[in-house]
Amino acid sequence: MTTRRDLPESPYLAAVTGRKPGRLPVWFMRQAGRSLPEYRALRAQTDMLSACFDAELVCEITLQPVRRHDVDAAILFSDIVVPLLGAGVDLDIVAGVGPVIASPVRTAADVDAMKPLDRQRIQPVADAVTLLVAALGGVPLIGFAGAPFTLASYLIEGGPSRHHARTKAMMLADPGSWHALLEKLTDITVGFLRAQLDAGVDAIQVFDSWAGALSLADYRAYVQPHSARVFGALAEHGVPMTHFGVGTAELLGAMSAVGATVVGVDWRTSLADAATRVAPGTALQGNLDPVVLMAGWPAVERAARAVVDDGRRAVDAGARGHVFNLGHGVLPDTDPGVLTDLVSLVHSL
């Protein structure tokens, strides 16, 4: 088992493990990204997928928001489809579109042809973690991966989708092939996260970005068992594990039941309400609407104070702790100065 850094002063690790943090911790999904001019300067020299497999570049991009904003956690710079590349899937990330799969997976034969994760192909990701652990000092590093359902949606749809129609149709019409595919994707997700854990990440977050497209009944029948296997396989590492999706209000209880120690909440659900939906002893993360950051400072301050107050009510209602975050990722046109000021505000409350 990897010997992890001892970070007793980390507000993030305190909040998610039930200890009282010295200050309310805050970080942002997509904090390393297009909102930062220094990121855009680096990315002008390379494409997204090449950047994700350049350990030194991953390290630098991951560190940028920590330096600029004084956030309480770093999240590994990568892309949700990187483990699919590590399993030999032919794909590209197209500007303005997102991940595009060359040969979508839509039949039993396609599922049978899926290959396992090749740890050597993702070695640069592990190398980046090693560099980051040495560079971050007292700031914890969060590793991440996409959940099996969300990876399946990309594979079946062939790219991003609004309605996930092909995905849900395959799930309902051919459950045998569906579960076989998710078994393979579960192994890929576990392998990708384990590589990060073995290299020393201090926590992980599993993004089930598109799970909100499902009813609770379908989530429980077709998705939850596979997500539970991801969290169950990694529990032995003893790190905080966050589970996050968008539009998942009705799924929060099921998403916490898979073994997550933290559940991310989007802006559509109050944190106090979420605390009554998740399993006892679960910490919460969220949940400022990212669009608020573009509405001017008075609106940002008002909304941020409301989230902090809501988080306190959530803890009073039984949540193990609260980590301030957005309800989804930072939008590319967000003024980075607003993010810096928001961190200072949250730390002062």
Q: Please report the DSSP string for 277-341 in residue order.
A: HSPTT-EEEEEE-GGGGGS-HHHHHHHHHHHHHHHHHHHHTT-S-EEEEESSPPPTT--HHHHHH
What residues contact 252, with CB distance under 8 A and at least 6 apart? 263, 265, 269, 274, 277, 278
Under 8 Å between Cβ of 183 and 175 = no
Residues labelled as active-site residues: 30, 34, 43, 79, 154
| Beta strands 98-101; 141-146: pairing state | unpaired
- Among 305, 294, 203, which Cα is nearest to 244's? 203
Place of tokens 């020299």: 45
- Among 80, 38, 97, 45, which Cα is nearest to 62's? 38
Taking the CA atoms of 31, 35, 36 and 39 in sequence, report the sign of the dihedral they define: positive
Distance of alpha carbon 271 from alpha carbon 280, whole angstroms: 14
Q: How far is CA 158 from the centre of its chain?
A: 21
What residues contact 45, with CB distance under 8 A and at least 6 apart? none
What residues contact 176, with CB distance under 8 A and at least 6 apart? 108
Three-state DSSP state, 136: coil
Distance of alpha carbon 129 from alpha carbon 100, whole angstroms: 26
Distance of alpha carbon 5 from alpha carbon 136, whole angstroms: 11
